[in-house]
Amino acid sequence: PSKLIVDKQNQIKNIYIDNKKETVGDYDMVPLIDSFIKKHPDFSYRGAKGTLALTGYNGVLGYRTSKSEYGDNEKTNKEIKAAKKVADQLKKDGWSFASHTWGHLNMTQDSLADIQQDNERWQNEVAPILGKTNILIYPFGADINDWQPYSEANQKFAYLKQQGFDIFCNVDAS
């Protein structure tokens, strides 16, 4: 799939390109789950669907939205507008968003300064499209702490908490 779109019925679909031929349909997780829940509404508690953890370095939702990567120009601004339309519809449909960092950082290994610079990019380039989130899902499952509880003594935690993150998750259950 190339990217997510909002079709004429305000449903999220994928554009799929094969041999330069474009088709629109349920080709990825989001539209597949949406279609399933439409047939089985009891599957979804109060309409909730899932949390999508997004980076920003290669754009958002299949759109080239990063001004730092693609420039501040008419094409990028058009992509931002299209991605925001999709994000707004996703939220209406019961999806939520999390930060997966802008550049898919290894939060265990990267410095506080790197995390601050990365989060600034996420807040400037991704949050305006998706909206605010208090959820951070660590890339690679690379947590900022060991098995001990987080505390303000951990500078990375203190910074992220100050930035509005309250929910910290790994990408797997291990």
pLDDT of 8-41, one tens digit each?
999 999 999 888 899 999 999 999 999 999 999 9
Average pLDDT over residues 160-167: 98
| pTM of the entire predicted model | 0.93
Domain ranges of the chain: 1-46, 49-169
Give the confidence band of 75 by pLDDT, cuts at 50, 70, 90: very high
Structure tokens at 4: 């997510």
Taking domain 49-169, whether its CATH number is 3.20.20.370 is answered by yes
CA 93 centroid distance within chain: 15
Tokens 């990019």, residue? 121
What pLDDT score was predicted for residue 69? 95
Are the C-beta atoms of residues 60 and 83 closer than 8 Å to each other?
yes
In the prediction, which pLDDT does 47 show? 86
CB-CB contact of 123 with 68 (8 Å):
no
147 or 55, greater pLDDT = 55
Task: Specify the length of the chain in residues.
Answer: 174
Q: What is the pLDDT of residue 152?
A: 94
For the chain, give the mean pLDDT.
95
SS3 call for 122: helix
Q: Show the beta-strand stretches assigned E in 7-142.
A: 12-18, 21-25, 50-54, 95-99, 135-137
What is the token pair recorded at 92?
């209406």
Helix axes 155-162, 112-125, angle to 10 degrees: 20
End-to-end Cα distance, the chain: 29
